[in-house]
Amino acid sequence: MTSSPKNILIANIRLIGDVILTTPLIALLRQAYPEATIDILVNRGTGEFLEKDQRVRTVIYVENSRKNDGYLGQIFRSYDLAINMNSSDRGNIAVLLAGRVTRIGFRNKGNSLKNIWQRLLLTHSLVFPEDIPVVHHCGVIAKALQIPYTHLTVDVFWDSADEARVNSILNERGVNTPYFVVHPFARWIYKYWRPERFAAVSDAIVERYGLHPVWTSSPSAEEKAGLANAALLCRHQPTLIAGDLSINQMTCLLKRAKCYLGLDTAISHLAASVGIPMVALYGPTFISRWFPWYNPGSPDQVCPQQRGRLQRGNIVVVQKDRECVPCGKAGCDDSGQTASPCMLEITEDEVLAAMAVCLAGPPANTPHLNA
């Protein structure tokens, strides 16, 4: 194990899902170096939820404008151990400037000239492993630091103020019976499913399981309008929580739910983290990397590149069984702005069958993904 650092920086200058799946490393570092302070470097809008994580001292933000590099002065030569969680030059440069003793970063495969500075200037220049669960990157870092571990756990925390906020909204909107959560949005349109199908599945869950529907969205005006319009298609009107909750509060809401239905999005990773039965619909995404992490499972759990209905514990992913799936593209035209046929072909019956499976738990004598 690396000699005990007094201060640690973890950089993950990517999207919110990447940051959520970095939280297992925070736990490993806190356990290995209990006296060290841990700071996190993230894009603005992706890591605010970490301000409620008592294991983290400071969340440092990279502003949306690339010209705003004020954070570099804040981190310069300030850490005994600095870690970049991906192969981006921006993150590796931050680690290079921040780390006094140990500097860990990833580089892409190959021996290109671009990688020379990373190999020479980082104390640990690791080849970025593409086709493994994203959470395993935390394990790769731990092994580089010779930190033993038996679990990798995704955690997002909330406090009493967050609980009070969730309670207030549920009480104000008359949700006083067991509920399920539907989050019918993702960052990109190519990950979308048809709103009328969400409505039909929501109605069927109400009728089959006696649960109250709670539908959620981000604060964006487009999603809030889309949520209201989609809800009008339901026979059993859902309670709408449209952009009213932070990520921490959303996690609290999910923890109390009986089940969850959503897409390939950060909210699905939150649902997985709190352990509720859940169904997520995936299109072209590489499921081998982005299957929601099953916290009770083995730290070496994997999800092979296969299609159809995939299950680990009480997490079920539905992905169409087409030869071109997964392609890893942002839709068939790779623009991200058009619906993917592999998403639109998912049927209501397939989703309801998946929900029945996740609510029942892992079926006996039925193969499912390594747990």
The residue out of 144, 175, 191 marking a domain boundary is 144
| 279: in domain | yes
| Domain presence at residue 367 | no
Q: Does residue 165 lie within any of the structural domains?
A: yes
Instruction: Select from 358, 185, 163, 355 the least CA-distant residue to 256.
Output: 163
Asked if 13 and 94 sit in the same domain, the reply is: yes
The mean pLDDT values, 10 residues at a time, for the chain of 371 residues are: 87 96 98 97 96 97 74 92 93 94 90 74 89 95 96 97 98 97 95 97 97 97 96 98 97 98 98 98 93 95 78 94 84 86 95 95 47 45
Same domain? For 89 and 174 the reply is no
Identify whether 287 is part of a domain: yes
What does the block give as tokens for 318? 């539905």
Q: Return the SS3 of 136.
A: helix
| Residues 62 and 192 occupy one common structural domain | no
* Domain termination site, one of 144, 172, 199: 144
Q: Confirm if 187 and 262 have CB atoms less than 8 A apart.
A: no
Domain count across the chain: 2
Asked whether residue 46 falls in the same domain as residue 172, the answer is no
In this structure, the answer to whether residues 110 and 246 fall within a common structural domain is: no
284 secondary structure, DSSP code: S
**Measuring CA to CA, which residue among 326, 328, 325, 316 is closest to residue 355?**
316
Residue-by-residue DSSP string for 310-368: EEETTEEEEE---TT----SSSTTSSSSS--HHHHT--HHHHHHHHHHHHH-SPTT---
pLDDT for the residue 361: 65
Q: Where are the alpha helices (DSSP H) in 173-235?
A: 195-209, 221-231
Are 19 and 41 contacting, i.e. CB atoms less than 8 angstroms apart? Answer: no
- Name the domain boundary from 113, 144, 175: 144
Two tokens, residue 343: 């998403």
Token reading at 72: 């570099």
Measure CA of the first residue to CA of the last residue in the chain; give whole Å: 28
Are the CB atoms for 133 and 291 separated by under 8 Å? Answer: yes
List residues bridging with 312 in a β-sheet. Answer: 315
Q: Quick one: 33 and 117 in the same domain?
A: yes
Query: Residue 213, preceding bond cis, omega within 30 degrees?
Result: no
Pairing of the two strands 308-312 and 315-319: antiparallel
Domain that holds residue 353: 160-360
What pLDDT score was predicted for residue 118?
79
Here the CATH number for the domain that contains residue 113 is 3.40.50.2000
